[in-house]
Amino acid sequence: MGCFPCFDSKEEEKLNTVNESNDPKQAQPTVSSNISSLSSGGDRLRSRSNGGSKRELPCPRDGPGVQIAAHIFSFRELAAATKNFRPESFLGEGGFGHVYKGQLESTGQVVAVKQLDRNGLQGNREFLVEVLMLSLLHHPNLVNLIGYCADGDQRLLVYEFMPLGSLEDHLHDLPPGKEPLDWNTRMKIAAGAAKGLEYLHDKANPPVIYRDFKSSNILLEEGFHPKLSDFGLAKLGPVGDKSHVSTRVMGTYGYCAPEYAMTGQLTVKSDVYSFGVVFLELITGRKAIDSTRPHGEQNLITWARPLFTNRRKLSKLADPLLQGRFPMRGLYQALAVASMCIQEEAAARPHIGDVVTALSYLANQAYDPNASGHGHSGSGETDEKRYRDDRGGRVSKNDEGGVSGCRWDLEGSEKDDSPKETARMLNRDLDRERAVAEAKMWGENWREKRRQSAQGSSDGSNG
């Protein structure tokens, strides 16, 4: 299996979205342009606004089709829940509409209610797509859709309430006194968001391309558990022998993959690029696009790329609000993953599953800023010394073979694990496939080590 698998190649795999049946009346959901039919129930959510072309809806690859079970609310119910959408209930603006905090009178549940712009035709399409997607796809890192309202010309979506707001709220323009995210929390958020994308790309059938991955669309519940939201721009990915889907360019400037922005050709690797931008936001604390910064620093990717190739400047990529409280090796490894995700060529970007493996490893390496040998201050040779003192492994050759012939040895010396070697890995001229394999092996070897440790403890206690 290659390092960059994009799509499932099993041509015989059928795209089923409902339970198999010989009853011809149980047809696949299709689209009609009559949006108002939504108000009569979930069984009528069978249309797409592109005029009735039949294309099957996504469902998990490893299970039967999920029936649409979103609750149908009346406009009066949601007006009561939000106190008539009063300003005090206003949370912010989502895609194509305003979001309000509310409490359902019937259950007492606190919810977020998004009211779509009634004057926007695009809002109708987004409404339909989002109801379909979130009714059929369920994962701990996707926001839960509770229900919807389609009374008359009103279009409202009801989600679970996420008390900590969006990732953007905790990264940019922090108010005085608000604590910035620490390193461990940033890695946890990145790993969780990547798992959400992995579900869309690898578990949904056909695959779903999110198309609007950005920090404001990552919502946080208690404990900073991330969930992807706002699925109005999501598209079904290519199936069979198709390499991409062609579509009108949508999304947010600064997050769009270059090949998608230029050609309209969309693949799951377009999402991987957007993930890399958000991951860089987490590492650097900078916005994807920031017009308040000096010329040359306004675009995050343009500013960061030249720094990847200079070992002495890698530490400058860390968010100043971290105040040096981050592991140097963790920073370099995180930058390696981000660098691979934002490669200009889509084929050079890693598969999201490999990204999840690498970030799960990083997220489980708890950083203690009070421990000796951790953290960062200064630059140059001081960086290198601190990095070498931060013990825990080295990249070495795997004599037994395997993907790219490299492994991550958690108990080895640090002879080869220096900032110079890491900078070489980040260099554009490095073998990108090897870099992806190394990132993947970080996680795989770490999990194997934990399994062996747990087995040894069990054997000891039984003895």
The predicted model scores a pTM of 0.71
Residue 10 inside a domain? The answer is no
Q: Which residues of the chain have pLDDT under 50?
A: 1-54, 64-66, 377-420, 422-423, 425-430
Do 156 and 182 share a structural domain?
A: no
Q: What domain range includes position 108?
A: 35-160
**275 and 207: one domain?**
yes
Domain end among 143, 160, 177: 160
Pick the last residue of a domain from 126, 160, 194.
Answer: 160
Buried b (16+ CB within 10 A) or exposed e, 285-312: bbbbeeeeeeeeebbbbebbeebbbebe
Collapsing DSSP states into helix, strand and coil, what is residue 330? Answer: helix
Residues 388 and 423 occupy one common structural domain: yes
- 228 with 356, same domain: the answer is yes
Task: Name residue 110's beta-bridge partners.
Answer: 103
pLDDT value for 61: 55
My answer on whether 171 and 58 are in the same domain is no
Based on the fold, state whether residues 411 and 293 are members of the same structural domain: yes
In a domain, 6, yes or no: no
In a domain, 459, yes or no: no
Q: Within 13 Å and on the Cβ side, how many CA atoms surround 91? A: 25
* CA distances for 266 relative to 20, 233, 289, angstroms: 30, 12, 22
Q: Mind telling me the catalytic residues?
A: 212
Within a domain: 22? no
Between the alpha carbon of residue 134 and those of residues 79, 198, 235, 263, 334, the distances in Å are: 23, 16, 13, 28, 30
- Whether residue 333 sits in one domain with residue 304: yes
CATH of the domain at 98: 3.30.200.20
pLDDT value of position 437: 58
174 & 141 share domain: no
Residue 447 lies in a domain: yes
29 in a domain, yes or no? no
Phi/psi region, residue 77 (left: phi>0; alpha: psi -120 to 50; beta: rest), is alpha
Out of 111, 137, 160, a domain closes at 160
Task: Indicate whether 138 and 204 sit together in one domain.
Answer: no
Shared domain for 444 and 416, answered yes or no, is: yes
Same domain, 151 and 191: no
pLDDT number for residue 243 = 63
Task: Answer yes or no: is 114 a known binding residue.
Answer: yes
Q: Give the CA distances from residue 16 to residues 56, 172, 267, in Å, rounded to whole numbers and listed in that order.
A: 7, 42, 21
CATH number of the CATH domain containing 233: 1.10.510.10
Q: Decide if 417 is inside a domain.
A: yes
- What does the alpha-carbon distance between residue 55 and residue 52 come to, in Å, rounded to a whole number? 9
One domain, residues 195 and 115: no
Q: Is residue 9 part of a domain?
A: no
Total domains in the chain come to: 2
Give the DSSP letter string of 417-430. -SHHHHHHHHSTTS
Structure confidence at residue 84 (pLDDT)? 94
